Structure formats: structure tokens, C-alpha cells
Amino acid sequence: MSLIKVKDLYKIYQMGNTEVRALDGVSVTIEKNEYVSIMGPSGSGKSTLMNLLGCLDTPTSGEFFMDGINVATMGDDELAHIRNKKIGFVFQTFNLLPKSTSLRNVELPLIYNGEIKAHERRDMAIKALTRVNLGDRVSHKPNELSGGQRQRVAVARALVNNPAIILADEPTGNLDSKTGEEIMVLFDELHKQGNTIILVTHEEHIAAHASRVVRLLDGKIAVDEATNRGKP
Amino acid sequence: MKSFFWENLRIALSELWSHKTRSILTGTGIVIGIIAVSLMSTLINGVDGLFEESMKFLGRGNLYIEKWPWFGDEDWWTLRNRPRIELDMADEIKERSEYAMVVAAERGRSANLSYKDLSAENIYIHGVTSNYPEVSTVDVEFGRFFTESEDRTGAQVVLLGSEVAKTLFPQGNPVDKMIFAGSKRFRVIGVLAEMGKFMGAFSNDTQVIIPLATFNKIFHGPWGRRSITVKVPEHLVEEAKEELRGVVRVLRGLKPEEKDNFAINQQNAFRQTYQGIKLAIGGTGMIITALSLLVGGIGIANIMFVSVKERTREIGVRKALGATRSQIQGQFLIEAMVITASGGLVGLIISTVISMAISKFLFPATMSFGVAFMAIALSAAVGLFAGLAPARKGAKLDPIEALRYE
Ligand SMILES: Nc1ncnc2c1ncn2[C@@H]1O[C@H](COP(=O)(O)OP(=O)(O)O)[C@@H](O)[C@H]1O
Ligand SMILES: [Mg+2]
């Protein structure tokens, strides 16, 4: 069974008299442990697709199965549960809670899981921070960390729940190229360890880390192909 | 669900801690409201106790025939022109009334007392009939009360209130000593047990008691209190009052169309007036409480709206990471309730201190557990109501828009 199976997905915004087709009939299938980058010009619908795949949003129409479960028709709370259990987000702007330590930030998804005891949460969060090489920064707050370190905290937060997919929307967009590359090395490692990764970027050398690239244009998939790295 | 409560409590506390001044200002209205309500109930409880204590001085089955009504809105001039109560009616009343069990008469005025070089000024001299102990709570601690024959003959004997005894006889037994009231010599035959104050103000222990006949013999003139106390069965007090009214009217020779020119007073008059006062105090307290809680609640709702707005992005992040609507709503509700409950707690501490001071200097007033519980519950409820709308607004935010919020 495919991890993600999307068919004829539409997201249409009604802006007064004009309708904006942010997604205009997208069909795509993504298997477990794939490493996919989504590219396309600004406004082509990349973020919209990511938000739908991340269950932050619901489509205007279309089918969306995750692990065989129909997600397109789910309600708010069910979507929140899917986000909590199956999805790890990494954002361009990090989106850490500014007043909380790295540890607290990474613990957040576990808190909303509701079934994990406090000391287990702590252990899991420390383990995740160690995986991104921040084992010595657990009690730092975001403003005491560099941009690259902040994004690594965000990555730790994304993987602490052992999600089925890690979604990253321009994760290197706010970083210089050297730190961006470090983050990409981290994603490569996570991929090697068996994680499924989907990332949005507009930089070819970032996209080249993935094994498959999906190019969007005006809300439609223009190209869907293996990268050099993904070619056998 | 329990773990979210502690989590939300933790978030609330750290959030409030990082906005200390704002939290304190916001909670002030609640503090005032809780002080008002808890102090009010404590005071009313205290005054209640005081009142019941005082009412013991006025037996439930006692009717007091006097010139002045204790309460009422009759014209002062009419009352002023009423004739004095003829104390010698007492015997007739005893004879004619079916209900009267004891009929005692009394007069009073103040005078200065002295013993050797010690003196007690402005002491209430109470002239009473020898059956007075049967209609009052006086209790002889040392010595004895006077006899009927001492009353009849106008013997110059006196019983001292406990305070008077202490003043004139700092050490030693007053019994059988001779004291002066004005220029008259009296032999002390007893000392009254301590009685306390009436309504926390008029001490019953600074009086002395002498036989009524002696009083009549020494003090002439119209001034001073005159009263006939009729003791009747407690459960027949209303019937007895009617009967007594008729008896006194006949004795006074009033024609049917003439109004009563005397008053029959009873404990009930105090009770009714007291209830009225209590209601007024309680009502005022309630209005103050309601207003300050309302204003405080609006302030908290306002601050919570600000807080939700400021933390839009945070809400977006939490939702993206899997927080449900009810978890977000709970977070802000608990935050609002933490503000109000802490305000309530502070208010409670302040009013406990104030009521301790009142107990020490005025009258017994202790905060009951029920009042404390009610105050905390009330303040938490205000938080719940004030926080509801902002919390729902936060919970309903769309995660994508919230994450995009600058
Ligand atoms: N909430 C919205 N309301 C109206 N139009 C939107 C909204 N979100 C996105 N769009 C439009 O949908 C299109 C795709 O947007 P987006 O997915 O953010 O593009 P990308 O991430 O590729 O730059 C754009 O034309 C954008 O203006
Ligand atoms: Mg975008």
C-alpha cells in the first residue's frame, strides 16, 4: 500500500469574482521511504500541496489516502490526530515557541499525543535532540541559538513522534548556503534511516538531495521524475 | 485528559509570569470583588452572632410596656407628648392579664458613685422590682438579690455590675461595704456576674441595681427610662400582646377612637429591624461584588483576547503539531481561571487578615470554610466565563492562517 495516494486534488479559492486554482487536479503517489522534492515557481501551489499532505488543510475536492485511510473527508480533531501521530513539519521560519527551551519545543508533539508520561517525553525529546547533534543545547531558548541550530531543533521536533512522513516547506530558505547544506545532510541521514521525506524548495542543488522531483506549474504537475541521485 | 490540565496549568503560569504587571493589574478587579463578598459574609456572620448574643438580654417571651416604641416611624412630637408609664400599673396588669406570668417594673438614670476615694462616674442606676431576675438575665455572682420586703420598704441596698465592682473595689469583697450614690449611702448586698455588651456597644456591666421603691424615694422628676416588663409564654407572645394592649388601654381609660398612647415592645422588633439592616448591608455588598467581578471579568476577557491575538502564531504551531480545538481552548480557559483564582486567593488572604483585625478589636468575625470555598469557586467561575469567548476564538483559528500571522 502506498503511503500517500492523491487523486484529482483541487484547492480552489474564491476571491470575489475570480477563482484561484491553487491546485488544479493533482494526482501523485508517494511510497514509504521516498525522498521527494517539490519545485515550481512562486505561486505554483507548492505550499498548498504541502499543507494538504500535512493535513493542515482540506481539499476542495479530490481523494487523499494516507496509509489507506481516507483523509480528505476528516474533521478537525481527526486531522489534528493525524498531524500529531503521522506527520512531522519543518517550516521555513522554524516556528519554535520563543519562550520555551529546545527540550520543551521538542516535547510539544508528545504532549499533544496525550499518552506519553512526562519522563518518557523527556527521554524521547533528548534522544531526538541528540540525533540532530544538539544534545548539549537542551535548555537553550531559540534566541540563544543560531539559525541552523534552530532549524535543527525544528527537525528534532518533527521526528520525535516517529512520524510516517517528514514534510519540510523550504527548510533552508532562511539559512545561508553552508548551514542549509548541513540541514540537508541531516535530511539525507534521516532518509537513510528509513524516513519518508517530502520537501519544497526552489533551489536545484537542494532538490538534488532527493531521489525524485515533482515540478508544479499553475497548480498542476508539470514534471514528475527521478533525479540523478534517484536514477539507478 | 489529566495530563493536559497540568500542561495547560504550566503554560498558564509561565505565560502569566512573563507578563507579571499585566497579570496583576488584570487580577485586581477580582481581588476587590472577592474581598467584598468574603468580608461581607464574614461580617454578617459575626454580626449575627453578636445579635443573637444580645437578644438573650431580651427574653423571647418578654413584652415591654414603654412610652417610646423601639422602632417605627411615628411622629416624634406625638410620641414625646405621651404620658409617662405609670409603674404602679404593674400590679393591675398582673391581676387582669391571663397571660402574664411575671410583671416587673423598672426605672433608670445615671449618677456618680463613690467608695472612699474611688469613684465611678455616669453609672446607670437601675431601680427594679424584686422579681426582676425572673424577667432578665442578671445573675448574682456574690451576695444576694434584694427581697420583696426590702423593695417595699425602700431599703438602701445595691447590687453592683461587675465592672462597677472592679472600679470601686479593685481588690477585696464589696459585699456589706457602704457606697455613695450622690449623697445617699447604700449597702452593697451583691455583685452581678459579667454579662457583656448589648449589640457590642452598651455594657450591661457598668450598671447598679437598687429596689424600685428606693429609686422612687431618692430620684424625683420625670427623666429616665420607665418600663414594665411582662413575661408571657413564648409561644403565645402575639396573643398576649393583643390582650395586654387592651388591658393597658382600659387602665388608661382610652376611648375606642383614641390611639394607643404607649408602646408594647418586644424582641421581634429588633429582629425585624435587624433583618432589614442585614439585607441592606448584604445587598450593598452583593452589588459591590457583582460590579467588581463584572468589571474584573470584562478586563480579563479583554486581556485574553489580546493574549490570543499576540499568540496567534503559537496557536498555529501548537495546532500544526497536533493540538485539538479543545486542547487550545482549555489552555486559554485555564489561563483565565488561573488569573481569577489567584486574584480570589489574594482577596481571600486580605479579607482573612481584615477579619482577624475585626475579631481582635470589634467583635468575633471568623471566615468560615464555606465562605472561603465560595470565594474561590466564584472567582474561578468568573475566569471561566471571561475566558470562554477568547479561548473559543483561539481554538477556532485556522492553523495555516495562524502560522502565517506576523
Ligand atoms: N488562503 C488563500 N486565499 C486565497 N488564495 C490563496 C490562499 N493561499 C494560497 N493562495 C493562492 O494559491 C496559489 C498557490 O499558493 P502557494 O501554494 O502558497 O504557492 P507557492 O507555495 O508555490 O508559492 C497562489 O496564487 C496563492 O495566491
Ligand atoms: Mg510557499
pLDDT in tens, B14-68: 888 888 888 888 888 889 888 888 888 888 888 888 788 777 777 778 899 999 8
State the Rg of chain B over Cα.
Answer: 33
Average the pLDDT over each of A200-209, B81-90, B355-364 and give the range with the smallest value. B355-364
Residue B250 scores a pLDDT above 60: yes
pLDDT top residue among B224 and B304: B304
What's the pLDDT score for residue B200? 63
What's the ipTM?
0.95
Residue A10 lies in a domain: no
**Looking at residue A196, which CATH number applies to its domain?**
3.40.50.300
User: Could you report the per-residue pLDDT of B66-83, keeping only the tens digit for each?
Assistant: 998 887 778 888 888 888
Torsion of CA B273, B278, B284, B287, to 10 degrees: -130
Residue A104 lies in a domain: yes
Average pLDDT of span B302-322 = 94
Q: Is the pTM of this model over 0.80?
A: no
Q: Which residues of B115-124 are buried (b: 16+ CB within 10 A; e: fewer)?
A: beeeebeebb
Ligand 1 pocket check for A24: Cβ under 6 Å:
no
Confidence band, pLDDT 50/70/90 cuts, at residue B397: very high
Chain A residue numbers with beta carbons less than 8 Å from the beta carbon of B322 are 80-81, 83-85, 109, 112-113
A4 in helix, strand or coil? strand
Return mean pLDDT, chain A. Answer: 93
Residue A63 lies in a domain: no
Atom of ligand 1 nearest to the CA of A45: 17
| CB proximity list for B191: less than 8 A, separation 6 or greater | B140, B141, B142, B143, B159, B160, B162, B165, B174, B175
Chain A residue numbers with beta carbons less than 8 Å from the beta carbon of B324 are 76-77, 80-81, 112
First and final C-alpha spacing in chain A: 23
Confidence band, pLDDT 50/70/90 cuts, at residue B199: low
Chain B residue numbers with beta carbons less than 8 Å from the beta carbon of A77 are 324-326
Residue A27 lies in a domain: no
Residue A18 lies in a domain: no
Number of structural domains (chain A) is 1
Share of chain A above pLDDT 70, in %: 100
- A→B contacts (Cβ < 8 Å), by residue, are 51, 54, 56-57, 76-77, 80-81, 83-85, 89, 91, 95-97, 99, 108-109, 111-114, 118, 157
- Number of A–B residue contacts, CB under 8 Å: 61
What's the pLDDT score for residue B3? 59
Which residues of chain A register pLDDT less than 50?
A: none
> What is the spatial distance between Cα B336 and Cα B18, in angstroms, rounded to a whole number?
15
Cβ separation B321–A108 shorter than 8 A: yes
Residue A40 lies in a domain: yes
Residue A6 lies in a domain: no
User: Could you report the per-residue pLDDT of B100-129, keeping only the tens digit for each?
Assistant: 899 999 999 888 999 988 888 889 999 999
Concatenated DSSP letters for B14-38?
A: HHHHHTHHHHHHHHHHHHHHHHHHH
B73 in helix, strand or coil? coil
Interface test with A, best of B20, B314, B321, B324 (most A CBs within 10 A): B321
Residue A163 lies in a domain: yes
The dihedral region occupied by B183, where left means phi > 0, alpha psi between -120 and 50, and beta the remainder, is alpha
